[in-house]
Amino acid sequence: MLRFKRSLLSLIFVIAGSNILLAQKDSGFTLESPNSEIHLEVKIGEEITWSVTNNSQQVISPSRIAMTLEQGEELGSRPEVRDSEKEEINTTIDAINYKKDVIEDNYNQLTLKFKKNFGLIFRAYDTGVAYRFTTSRNRDLTIVSEEVNFNFPEDHMVYIPYANDPANDVYQISFENRYEHIPLSEIVKDTVAFAPVLVELPNGMKAAITEADLESYPGMFLKSGDKDFALKGEFAGYPLEEEQGGHNGLQSFVTKRADYIAKTSGSRSFPWRILIISNEDKELLNNDMVYKLASAPRIENTSWIEPGKVAWDWWNDWNISGVDFPAGINTETYKYYTDFAVEHGIENILLDEGWAPRGEILNTIPAIDLDEIIDYAGSKGVGVWLWSGYLPLAQNMDEALATYSEMGVKGLKVDFMNRDDQKMVNFYYELSRKAAEHKLMLDFHGSYKPTGLQRTYPNVVNFEGVRGLENVKWSNTDFPLYDTRVPYIRMLAGPMDYTPGAMKNANNANFRAINSAPMSQGTRVHQLALYVLYEAPFNMLADNPTNYMDEPESTEFIAAVPTTFDETVALDGKVGEYAAIARRKEDTWYVGAITNWNSRDLEIDLSFLPEGNYEAVIFKDGINANREATDYKREVIDVKSGEQLNVHLANGGGWAARIYPAQ
């Protein structure tokens, strides 16, 4: 039985077809959000345009919508409306493995049907707007291009991550980069960026651009638009020729692309184009639009899907100590990881790259006895996950899924896709469907941003597409700055395989990028808080068991934080400066706050707590954390609903708490 339910009464206003058939030029339609603050206007003339205001402030100026098919047919050129319909929808979604268990799904919808058998659907939520094309044709379609425009009225500042492709194909990237904070007018011409991007508007307002329900279609990049202060969509051409290459030959590089972006069914709905709007920055920390706009679950029985944490090997370079066997990619090491997981309540271990011969997936290296590892872990209630590069898995998908499912593997971490053209998007859906048939979970690393696939196939429990902690092994990126930007931008799209958990922590002056003995930038408590702040149904403990066992208080806190929640409350925050979130699992609350390299004092409002007496286990930056980033203080205090806690965050610091009813 599907956990998704849609029991609703829709109030439908149908405008008589005779009144709108062959609509005259310059006709228009309006749609407003349920709270009447956001207004969307659609103009039908020689072309179709859309515009948006929020609280009477212009967000999007009239922007053209069109789609070009083969032989030059353009949907949106001299359009003729055949029918229209408005609906008011107020229902709920039962979320699966999410940051809340129930989502209020309240929006107004406008459906326009045009001659030539195509349509547009517009939705207005209290948190933004979205639109999508539909077609109803008997034959398959070739989509040459789609025109997606976001014209802004002024030269606003934008947070934008360039693709920065080092090779020949700009569309083949890892989807992880810093955010440039620049005026729209200074976006480098003829350079693409990947969504989400975030635009600063007057009066503290923000507008974020992304997409949802991306299926059998390429992902949307963004570039400087044709008008001043504009962004427009850009799409990768369909791959015609590919060659093996990249890291250990695990990738497939496109060497020739078609002059079209997709070949697809003639009767379908296309991806949603989303504009998320916030009046305060903190609203971006708890937004559900991508999940709401995704297709409903296609898995009836989800009881076998068990998100959780994983003891991870690769980031720490297998550097355990105090043992009587050589640490590394071998059976003894993974049995040791299993024992660590059991002792600390960690649900899974992961065999990352190296357990299989280079470029293979159906064999193991001599030092790995996979049956023994799976049997040992299984006897102790610990799940085993396997890492795989994209190409070996794509070439051996059916055999690999059947083999490892039968052996008792719990899930696969799939890496180095590094594309989102239509062919690669199809791979995501095919793998998700087939993995579900074998009761295997998936973590997409080396991936494009989530677009709601985790709702459609709940066995997909995480995505990378983020400049995660692995980058500290080789980069001097300003991570506390990035850490305080990404929850307002990338996390709008969905969960992030950021892989936190460093026990070696450094301030700005002391940090060094070291591959085999890595450290984090910022304080210990900054790392602890990320387990609360960042959405990740499948979340890794990046450091090695030895370091965690040397830090039992920190490890106990990390292990106790769930990876999915029943409720989320955005407490406070400002993009690029700080963020604070509270999340509830059953009757226990978890709170996380982080700052950039600037120390600051925050007031944590405990009004989210129900009435009653509570006990709080608190981790805060130590008095010397600015000098020695591992310095922290743990304390246990009594708290009540409505209290205000004054907390201090050191440079690159954090604050974390577990709050539960007092006994």
- Give residue-wise pLDDT tens across range 567-599: 999 999 999 999 999 999 999 999 999 999 999
Exposure string (b/e) for 370-382, b if CB count within 10 Å is 16 or more?
A: beebbebbeeeeb
Q: How far apart are CA 463 and CA 457, in angstroms?
A: 13
Q: Residue 367: is its pLDDT beyond 70?
A: yes
In 7-140, which ranges are E strands?
11-15, 27-32, 38-44, 48-54, 57-69, 74-75, 81-94, 102-114, 118-125, 128-136
pLDDT band for 164, please (50, 70, 90 cuts): confident
Task: Say which of 213, 215, 415, 621 is annotated catalytic.
Answer: 415
Mean pLDDT, residues 605-631 taken together:
97
Mean pLDDT, residues 65-77 taken together:
97
> At 148, which helix (H) or strand (E)?
strand 141-151
Mean pLDDT, residues 448-463 taken together:
98
- Give residue-wise pLDDT tens across range 466-497: 999 999 999 999 999 999 999 999 999 999 99
Q: Residue 423: is its pLDDT beyond 70?
A: yes
Q: Residue 169: is its pLDDT beyond 90?
A: no
Q: How far apart are CA 124 and CA 438, in angstroms?
A: 38
pLDDT band for 663, please (50, 70, 90 cuts): confident
Q: List CB contacts of 536: < 8 A, sequence separation 6 or more.
A: 462, 495, 496, 497, 498, 563
pLDDT of residue 166: 53
**Neighbour tally for 12: CB within 10 Å:** 11
Q: List CB contacts of 366: < 8 A, sequence separation 6 or more.
A: none
Q: Residue 400: is its pLDDT beyond 80?
A: yes
pLDDT of residue 2: 36
pLDDT band for 505, please (50, 70, 90 cuts): very high
Instruction: Give SS3 for 204.
Output: helix
Q: Residue 237: is its pLDDT beyond 50?
A: yes
Q: Residue 360: is its pLDDT beyond 50?
A: yes
Q: List CB contacts of 19: < 8 A, sequence separation 6 or more.
A: none
- What is the phi-psi region of residue 398: left when phi exceeds 0, alpha when psi lies from -120 to 50, beta otherwise? alpha
pLDDT of residue 96: 98
Instruction: Give SS3 for 512.
Output: coil
Mean pLDDT, residues 88-96 taken together:
98
Q: How far apart are CA 662 and CA 98, in angstroms?
A: 27
Q: Residue 4: is its pLDDT beyond 80?
A: no
Helix axes 370-379, 397-407, angle to 10 degrees: 50
Mean pLDDT, residues 287-295 taken together:
98
> At 330, which helix (H) or strand (E)?
none
Terminal Cα-to-Cα distance of the chain (whole angstroms): 38
Residue 617 in contact with residue 556, Cβ under 8 Å? no
**Neighbour tally for 452: CB within 10 Å:** 24
Among 248-252, 269-273, 283-287, 421-425, the minimum mean pLDDT is found in 248-252
Task: Scan for tokens 């103009």, then name that residue.
Answer: 43
In 331-447, which ranges are E strands?
348-351, 383-389, 411-415, 441-444
Q: Residue 1: is its pLDDT beyond 60?
A: no
Domains contained in the chain, CATH given: 11-293 (2.70.98.10), 308-519+535-561 (3.20.20.70)
* DSSP at 524: H
Q: pLDDT over 70 for what percent of the chain?
A: 95
Task: Scan for tokens 């922290």, then name that residue.
Answer: 632
pLDDT, the chain, mean: 95
* Residue 611 burial (C-beta neighbours within 10 Å; 0-12, 13-18, 19+): exposed
Residue 499 in contact with residue 534, Cβ under 8 Å? no
Residue 594 in contact with residue 480, Cβ under 8 Å? yes
Task: Say which of 470, 483, 535, 551 is annotated catalytic.
Answer: 470
| Closest to 521 (Cα-Cα) out of 489, 477, 573 | 477
Q: List CB contacts of 90: < 8 A, sequence separation 6 or more.
A: 8, 34, 105, 106
Q: Residue 8: is its pLDDT beyond 70?
A: no
Say if strands 57-69 and 141-151 run parallel, antiparallel, or are unpaired: antiparallel
Mean pLDDT, residues 72-84 taken together:
97
* Residue 83 burial (C-beta neighbours within 10 Å; 0-12, 13-18, 19+): middle
- Give residue-wise pLDDT tens across range 330-349: 999 999 999 999 999 999 99
Residue 117 in contact with residue 136, Cβ under 8 Å? yes
Instruction: Give SS3 for 232.
Output: strand
Residue 331 in contact with residue 368, Cβ under 8 Å? yes
Q: How far apart are CA 602 and CA 596, in angstroms?
A: 13
pLDDT of residue 167: 58
Q: Residue 6: is its pLDDT beyond 90?
A: no
Strand partners, 413: 387, 443
> At 420, which helix (H) or strand (E)?
none
pLDDT of residue 190: 86
Q: How far apart are CA 622 and CA 634, in angstroms?
A: 9
Task: Scan for tokens 């309540």, then name that residue.
Answer: 345
pLDDT of residue 118: 98
Amino acid (1-letter code) at residue 283 = E
pLDDT of residue 27: 86
Mean pLDDT, residues 522-540 taken together:
98
Q: Residue 16: is its pLDDT beyond 90?
A: no
Give how far the C-alpha of residue 259 lies from the chain's centroid of Cα atoms, to the nearest Å: 30
- Active-site annotation holds for 443: no
Mean pLDDT, residues 524-550 taken together:
98
pLDDT of residue 340: 98
Q: Residue 21: is its pLDDT beyond 50?
A: no
Q: How far apart are CA 546 and CA 221, in angstroms?
A: 42
* Residue 222 burial (C-beta neighbours within 10 Å; 0-12, 13-18, 19+): buried
- Active-site annotation holds for 470: yes
pLDDT of residue 165: 60
